Amino acid sequence: MSQVQPADRGNEIIEQLNSLAIEDASEFELVKIEREVESIKNAVEPSRYLEIKGMIACLRRDVKMMRKYHENALSYSSHHAMSHFQYAASLGKCGMFEEAYNHAKEAFVKDKAKMSLSKAIELGSFVEAEDVCELVDEWKRNYPDEGLPLLSDDHDIASYALEALDKSLKKNPGLMVPIDPDQIDRISKLVEEVEVD
Exposure of 21 in the CB half-sphere (CA atoms within 13 A): 8
Whole-angstrom distance, CA of residue 170 vs CA of residue 153: 26
> Given this model, what pLDDT does residue 65 score?
96
Q: How far apart are CA 168 and CA 189, in angstroms?
A: 31
Q: Which of 55-59, 77-81, 146-150, 168-172 has the lowest mean pLDDT?
A: 168-172
**For residue 41, pLDDT beyond 70:** yes
82: left (phi over 0), alpha (psi -120 to 50) or beta: alpha
SS3 category, 87: helix
Q: What is the pLDDT of residues 128-164, one digit of tens each?
A: 888 888 998 898 899 988 887 765 444 455 555 555 5
| Residue 162 pLDDT | 57
Separation between Cα atoms, residue 172 and residue 194, nearest integer Å: 35
pLDDT number for residue 133: 87
**pLDDT digit string (tens) for 7-17?**
688 889 999 99
| Per-residue confidence band for 1, with pLDDT thresholds at 50, 70 and 90 | very low
150 near 119, Cβ under 8 Å? no
pLDDT at residue 99 greater than cutoff 50: yes
Q: How many CA atoms lie within 13 A of 45 on its CB side?
A: 16
Q: Could you say which DSSP state residue 195 is in?
A: -
Domains and CATH numbers, the chain: 6-172 (1.25.40.10)
Average pLDDT for residues 163-192, to the nearest whole number? Answer: 63
Reported as type and span, the H/E element at residue 82 is: helix 80-93
- The band of 179, judged by pLDDT with boundaries at 50, 70 and 90, is low
Task: Specify the higher pLDDT residue, 78 or 45.
Answer: 45
Q: What is the mean pLDDT of residues 164-193?
A: 63
Most confident of 15-24, 155-164, 172-181: 15-24
